[in-house]
Structure 1
Amino acid sequence: MAKYLLKVSYSAQGLKGVMKSGGTSRVKAVEHALAGVGGSLESFYFAFGGDDVYVIADVPDHAAAMAMAAAVASSGAISSYETVVLLSPSEVDDAMKVAVDYAPPGS
């Protein structure tokens, strides 16, 4: 499973829904949606500032993450949605062992 950080901001419509149904109902809704694409919820936090919600999710692959993003972002309840791929330290170690034949501009 791949791990993703989802950064979400609600629209006015979405905030009205949170005000009506509460925060824990959103956690349940996200758990349900993630399970539908074969994923699971690691953590869910509300915040204030640039984003309203931060979610860390385990999702099978990029296609499932894209399906989740499309469903949520097209709902009208979201003003912005960003998916960030998260890498473990061991994945970074593996990546640093890959040889890349790259020439920077001007070389």
Structure 2
Amino acid sequence: MPKFLIQATYTPEGTKGLLKEGASGRRAAVDQVVTDLGGQVEAMYFAFGEDDIVLIVDFPDPVSMAAVSLTVKASGALRTRATPLLTLDEIDEATRRQVTFRAPGR
């Protein structure tokens, strides 16, 4: 299954929700939305600094990740970004593929 790194920052409204229901309440909500689409939460951490939450999730396909991302962003409670994560084998396969490319101005 494709893996994704999700980094999120709570909006003021989202922070109020976190204060109301706590970290375990948010974890339960994340688990539900991910598993409902056939995925799995590998790790979830709260942080402070630029990001408030960091997750690693597995989804059956990128469309499932996009569906979650759109729904979460539409809530207005979080600003998120998702980064696809590749395995070593996937990068090895990519290095074996021949790509023809001309850099700008060359």
TM-score by length of 1: 0.94
Report the counterpart of residue 94 of structure 2 in structure 1: 95
Give the corresponding residue for 1:45: 45
Gaps in structure 1 of 5+ consecutive residues: none
| 2:14 aligned with 1:21 | no
Q: CA–CA distance in 1 between the matches of 2:55 and 2:90?
A: 21
What's the secondary structure of 2:103's corresponding residue?
Answer: coil
CA shift, 1:102, in A, is 1.3
The SS at the match of 1:74 is helix
Q: Which has the higher helix share?
A: 2
- Secondary structure at the aligned position of 1:18 is classed as helix
Identity %: 37
Q: Distance in 2 between matches of 1:33 and 1:105?
A: 43
Q: What's 2:104 paired with?
A: 105
* 1:54 maps to amino acid: V
SS at match of 1:16: helix
For 2:4, the equivalent position in structure 1 comes to: 4
Q: Extract unaligned runs of 5+ from structure 2.
A: none
| TM-score (normalised: structure 2) | 0.95
Q: Report the 3-state secondary structure (helix = DSSP H, G, I; strand = E; otherwise coil) of the residue aligned with 1:68.
A: helix
Query: Residue 51 of structure 2 aligns to which amino acid in structure 1?
Result: D
**Residue aligning to 2:70:** 70
Matched, 1:60 2:60: yes
1:3, CA displacement in angstroms?
Answer: 0.2
* One-letter amino acid of the structure 1 residue matched with residue 93 of structure 2: D
Q: What is the CA–CA distance in structure 1 between the aligned matches of 2:101 and 2:20, rounded to whole Å?
A: 54
Measure the CA separation in 2 of the matches of 1:3 and 1:84: 9
Q: Using the TM superposition, give the Cα deviation of residue 101 of structure 1 relative to its aligned residue in structure 2, in angstroms.
A: 1.2
For 1:29 and 1:11, the matched residues in 2 are separated by 17
Q: Distance in 1 between matches of 2:49 and 2:88?
A: 28
Between the aligned partners of 2:74 and 2:103, the Cα distance in structure 1 is 39
